[in-house]
Structure 1
Amino acid sequence: MSNKSELVRRLLPGIEAVLLEEAMRDTQNARTKAQRERSLELKEVGWLEGELPRIAAAAFRWLDSRLDEATAEARAQGLMVPLEASIDLLSPIGRILDERSYSQALAYLLSPSEPHALGQGPLRAILQHIASKSASAAPAIESVLPFLAQALTEPERELVSELDGQRGRTDIWIEVPASAPQLMVVMEVKVGHIITPGQLERYEAACQRRAHELRLPPDAVVKVLLTIEGEHEAPGWTSVEWQDVAALLSFLAGSPGDGAAFLRLYLAAILRNFYGLSSAPKSRAAKAILLSYLRRARIISPPSPITTPHE
């Protein structure tokens, strides 16, 4: 076997569709680059151009095969339930990218006292994920897990800044347990909007005032930025992506009851409207995105349903 054939044989199994498309675009300019960088001979570039169709076909077969495997595994784990929904919660009412709708729906699901019959499951899954991303917050989060049934989850908590007197609101405010809080979580939700100047500083000041009232140590005050692509980062804030929320809560979406049906359609809205995901992607790019999501979801989602009593 020639060196060239051996090289192609070894390349085939590991080429992703997205990387392949990038390689094909790069190769179109390879002759000019070779002359400029003097790193490739033109005949070698010509050989690579000739091999690209065969590499592409093999890569697309590889993508289809891996997606089939990932889909089967995800279905067994419950991750496909929202993706297989025929409709989503917010598209029919024209709220596809309405930040407030997504935020209020999530606050509802994160409140164990609401009548969704999902118990502590959603709140527990999200808090444990935050703990996995923030070593400083993990001990405080773990300490309150036995008290999640007593959590207070408040959407749109009104604030008046002592810094400039401006009024504002936090998207989701959580205290556990409500009677004598040992943990405070403030979530700022973003769906395409930017963080305005001074916004996070006002929230931080409000957190400090409340923490002082409760005599909470700094590590018991957790600030979370929830965004589509992790595009916002700020010191002292833990970044969480919407696709992680979907993966973390999908295991509950197949449960019986109206609350699970609400959750299923809500997660379908997140996955479709933010990421363009569906259970039957048409294009190769959509297949690659779905494969990436399913692989990520398998890593972070609970290995088995979290059972929680309904207090």
Structure 2
Amino acid sequence: MSRKKILITGKGSYIGTSFIKWVSQWPDRYEVEEISVRGEEWRNHDFSGYDTVLHVAGIAHVSADPKLEDLYYKVNRDLTIEVAKKAKNDGVKQFIFMSSIIVYGDSGGISEKKIITRNTIPQPTNFYGNSKLQAEEGIKDLESSNFKIVIIRPPMIYGKGSKGNYAKLSKAARILPVFPDIDNQRSMLFIDNLCEFLKVLIDNEVRGLYFPQNAENINTSEMVRLIAEAHGNKIRLTKIFNPVLRLISVRVGIVNKLFGNLVYEKSMSEFKKKYRVRDLRESIIATELVDGEI
């Protein structure tokens, strides 16, 4: 296998940094560089020597402030299309764009199933999701026989150093004596599984739309129990809070994000090469232990 040259656009990103660390296991097979795409300097960078551009730069869903709407479109949509155009013009063979499950809208509520299939039509409910979907549509028009477009719509990504809801749950699991016991199901993706998936996509020089996820759907309460267990905290799961949580979930968005339902149908995430290198329990241990070793 010839050595792959990969350019990551989005310096210092969680996914990009994790991917660099992952493929460093095979120094003779991958040469990876990352650049910032803030400002205009990136336009002077020569992309012509790279086999793949992995575009992970973007604004995550951190705010619903309407004042930020233009910025979301400028970064998540317009910048993505501009980087893809440059990659194509400079002769790059493959462009990988990190989109999101959020293009399908919000989670289903507590006790409300939401299963996404290949026939599910994206229906973003906010400008974060819409900016990602419009970026997808913009770069698809650039595809040609010599320029392969890969779009990935991952569910929630977690792992050592990740931010967002997983970090909040991890903090709670370490200190709380009790936690709500709610029967929900969510698709999630451990960072090592994502990095291996990206490696496989690059190795096989593919194109298309992909939906990687862990082999197991995740129940939030069970995940918190596993996190607590990793830290030696015997947390007790209880249904006593469930009626209140169901009541406030209509108005408090974070409740649905934590305990709502949102899964990809399993067959969507199968791939010809194995990419799931950790199961749920292993991923929790690897995330929570100080040195990340199992």
Give the TM-score, by structure 1 length.
Answer: 0.32
Name which structure has the greater RCO, CA cutoff 8 Å, separation 6+: 1
Rg comparison, structure with higher value = 1
Higher helix share: 1
After TM superposition, the score normalised by the length of structure 2 is 0.33
